[in-house]
Amino acid sequence: MRAVDVIDKKRRGEALAEEELRFLIEGYVAGRIPDYQMSAFLMAVVWRGMTREETLALTRLLADSGERLDLSGIPGVKVDKHSTGGVGDKATLVVLPLVASIGVPVIKMSGRGLGHTGGTIDKLESIPGFRTNLSVAELVAQVRQVGIALGGQTADLAPADKKLYALRDVTGTVESLPLIASSVMSKKLAGGADAIVLDVKVGDGAFMKSRSDARRLARLMVEIGEAAGRRTVAVLSNMDQPLGCAIGNALEVAEAIRVLSGEGPFDLAEIALALAEEMTVLAGVAATREEARRMLRQSVAEGRALETLRRWIAAQGGDPAVVDDPSRLPQAPVQMPYLPKKAGFVAKLPALAFGLAAMRLGAGRETKDAAIDPSVGIVLHAKVGDRVQTHRPMFTVHARTEEDALRCIREIEEVMEISDDPVEAPPLILARID
């Protein structure tokens, strides 16, 4: 077999056999196939697409390129949760202790943030002492002990995807539904969970800008999961404005604590409950989503969800006292409130611009190896549809310097919109696909 013939075949729009895909993927990982041939192949896929069978085969090949975690030592149905990424998306920090508090075992591998989207690992590391570099054996032992564990993605989890994704990132070949779906799902399948709940974000601050693309991606990922024998459900949710009110690592941890205490912004609480109830049903801990919701709400009301968060933080070496005193989290030296220039109704808070503004404050990374500052970010005091007045802060910037805070305010002022007329709050959950 020659790589050029396989590339040619895809360029002509023909479907490839699993053996041809294997030849390319294994050859690429082993260094036999150079970047330029793989780039040409990826571009052909972007233009020509892939059949369902090709996409399933590619997912399997990526998942099998490294170790597949064996979670059979953990009793119960293990359910993973994955978000395609957004701004202010700290749902994992709420959902994991929430479901664990009612007996759903939780083990998860998460990533760091890049660009305008944050990463769960960065958020958790803002808790003093919190360790995320746990080995798989440590993660499994911790789940058996306290019911919940989260670690960074090991280098051996779908390494072919890691290499391919880095190449896609610099060759304009990220935006392809079969490539995205196989990339995400290969890591989920290798992660070993029995069932998977996907939060597919759609809108300004998300990968998928249109609802129809997001729906197609969600369907494809659900199909891949089910074909691999994993029960998979996807929720489509709005990412036109940041999720919740906080953007920035320690600020997001503090907000997650508030939601687990039964306070906190409605949208974050709502998406967390929606995802948590799917996980609870898939785990077989509740028979219906309604029953799951009742159990989850009760756990919050009785303080069990918050207690699970304390135990989780302590188990991973973090300071559990942050749960009762969030001022123990890193605090930015400058906190600058923004008073709107006119009163009215918030019409636009573009998520992407907020994500980029927070990144430039130091909350995120422009490049893969950049350092982040856990204390900085933005806290919204009003969301789309809310009324604002000129004497009340609309948001507060947490920054290292006054100059940084002023620049952030200028960036946001340019993109946000306040309307004289009432604005309806946008729907949060757009669809459910199973």
Provide the minimum distance between the beta carbon of 208 and ligand URA in the complex, in angstroms, as a whole number. Answer: 10
Largest CA distance in the chain: 71
Nearer to ligand URA, 221 or 233 (CB): 221
Q: Give the range of 179-187, 218-226, 331-339, 387-395 binding ligand URA by CB under 6 A.
A: 179-187
Total binding residues toward ligand URA, as defined by CB under 6 A: 6
Give least dist CB 181 to ligand URA, A.
8
By CB under 6 A, residue 202 contacts ligand URA: no
Length of the chain: 434
Least distance in angstroms from the C-beta of 111 to ligand URA: 8
Tell me how far apart the alpha carbons of residues 137 and 318 are, in angstroms, rounded to a whole number.
19
Among 127, 149, 180, 323, binds ligand URA (CB under 6 A): 180
Separation of alpha carbons 39 and 7, rounded Å: 10
Question: Given phi > 0 = left and psi -120 to 50 = alpha, else beta, which region is 288?
Answer: beta
Stretch that binds ligand URA, among 175-183, 190-198, 331-339, 411-419 (CB under 6 A): 175-183
Cα–Cα distance, 37 to 4 (Å, whole number): 7
We find the least distance from the C-beta atom of residue 71 to ligand URA, in angstroms, to be 20
φ, ψ of residue 196 in degrees (nearest 5): -135, 130
CB nearer ligand URA, residue 46 or residue 382: 46
Regarding 380 and contact with ligand URA (CB under 6 A), the answer is no
Residue number with CB closer to ligand URA (179 or 323): 179
> Is 184 one of the binding residues for ligand URA (CB under 6 A)?
yes
Does residue 216 interact with ligand URA by CB under 6 A? no
Q: Does 59 bind ligand URA (CB under 6 A)?
A: no
Q: What angle (nearest 5°) sits at the alpha carbon of residue 226, between those of residues 46 and 41?
A: 20
Select the residue interacting with ligand URA from 183, 232, 241, 299 (CB under 6 A): 183
User: What single DSSP character describes residue 107?
Assistant: E
Q: Does 43 bind ligand URA (CB under 6 A)?
A: no
Q: Are 158 and 187 in contact (CB under 8 A)?
A: yes
Interface mask toward ligand URA for 118-157; x: CB under 6 A: ----------------------------------------
Cβ proximity to ligand URA: between 48 and 293 the closer is 48
Nearest alpha carbon to residue 68 among 137, 182, 158, 151: 158
Of residues 58 and 379, the one with the C-beta less far from ligand URA: 58
Residue with structure tokens 């989850």?
296
Question: Is residue 186 involved in binding ligand URA (CB under 6 A)?
Answer: no
- Please identify, among the stretches 178-186, 231-239, 290-298, 338-346, the one whose residues bind ligand URA according to the rule CB under 6 A: 178-186
User: Catalytic amino acids?
Assistant: 82, 161, 168, 183, 187
Nearest by Cα to 45 from 27, 69, 24: 24
Residue pair 345/421 in contact by the 8 Å Cβ criterion: yes
| Angle, CA of 222, 89 and 310, to the nearest 5° | 105
Nearer to ligand URA, 180 or 246 (CB): 180
User: Structure tokens of 372?
Assistant: 């982040």
Is 179 in contact with 39 (CB distance < 8 Å)? no
165 is a contact residue toward ligand URA (CB under 6 A): yes
Q: Which of residues 79-118 bind ligand URA (CB under 6 A)?
A: none
Beta strands in 316-383 (DSSP E): 334-338, 344-348, 377-380
Please choose, out of 177-185, 253-261, 288-296, 395-403, the segment that lies near ligand URA by the rule CB under 6 A: 177-185
Where are the strands (E) in 242-288, listed by range? 246-247
Nearer to ligand URA, 110 or 183 (CB): 183
Q: Which residue is nearest to ligand URA (CB)?
A: 183
| Span of 174-182, 280-288, 327-335, 361-369 interacting with ligand URA by CB under 6 A | 174-182
Judge residue 263's burial from the number of C-beta atoms within 10 Å of its C-beta, 0-12 exposed, 13-18 middle, 19 or more buried.
Answer: exposed
Is there a contact between 108 and 152 (Cβ–Cβ < 8 Å)?
no
The set of residues, in sequence order, having a beta carbon less than 8 Å from that of 131 and lying 6+ positions away, is 316, 317, 318
C-alpha distances in Å from residue 43, one per residue of 36, 94, 126, 220, 251? 11, 38, 39, 20, 40
Encoded tokens for 19: 């053996």
Query: Least CB distance from residue 214 to ligand URA, whole Å?
Result: 13
Binding site for ligand URA (CB under 6 A): 165, 174, 179-180, 183-184
